[in-house]
Amino acid sequence: MTGPRAIPPTPPGAWRVRAFTIIELLVVIAVIATIIAITLPALGSARQAAKRVECMNNLRQLGVGVTMYMDTESKGVLPEVFPIITPENNNEVTLLDIMQNYIDAPKPRRETPGDTDSPWISTNPYRCPNDKFSDDSSIQNRATHEQYGTSYAYLPGAVFWWLELALNMSPPYAKAVTTVWRNRADRNAEPALVFDFDDWHPRSDGPGKNALFISDGRVQWLEKSRADDAMPEIIEETVRAMGAP
């Protein structure tokens, strides 16, 4: 019977791991760079899509608040207030005042109470996640929601503003404006009720604004034809609905 066979000693350097060559390292770096170049735009697009969804949800909540107000307080008539986006006027009720009774969120407030130069502090659903700053140095480059309390504009309020201040007409206007909104919805030309104040959402084929339409509560892109171009027609139709010549 023979004894166990001896294991020959391992030659020096037999277990040494072979190092990458310069060419192999360059190939690995190129592959990593390619993967990063492919994934970063996709990640950016995903982030923007998530922010747009958040903004759309904000508008839906505002729409629910307006609908609840119309059902419980105004007998189906739109709130007769000036635009949300307006310098502070302590003598006027704003849509923010109305919404605080129907939205489960704190009403926007001044950082320093009583100081009209102090920025506003607001949370969802009053601020768009892409509303971060402005190019206006005269207001310290504040975001729209910091300057006005919200990121969103109330289009019927702009109509009220025109009727009262530009055309020197007397209120009430809300019934006539509500009639115009309903008539235009019936002929597939409904104006937006509330929408992004600025083009905060990247889009290649139109304004980068989300908009709420009150007739069915939908939120979608704001088309230019339903924004600036429609305003003169809306005001003219409202004047006729009020019985003015």
Domain spans of the chain, in order of start: 29-241
Cα angle 215, 219, 222; round to 5: 100
Q: What is the mean pLDDT of the chain?
A: 85
159-164 average pLDDT score: 91
For 34, the token pair is 């390619």
pLDDT digits (tens, 9 = 90+) for 173-196: 999 999 999 999 999 999 999 999
pLDDT of residue 27: 80
Cβ partners under 8 Å of residue 38, min gap 6: none
Check if the beta carbon of residue 95 is closer than 8 Å to that of residue 169.
Answer: no
Written as one string, the DSSP assignment of 99-143 is: HTTTSSSPPPEESSTT-TTSPEE--TTSS-TT----S-GGGTT--
Mean pLDDT of the region 7-11: 59
Write out pLDDT tens, residues 28-77. 888 888 877 777 676 667 888 999 999 999 999 999 999 999 999 999 99
Distance in angstroms (rounded) separating the CA atoms of residues 185 and 79: 18
| pLDDT tens digits, 138-149 | 888 999 999 999
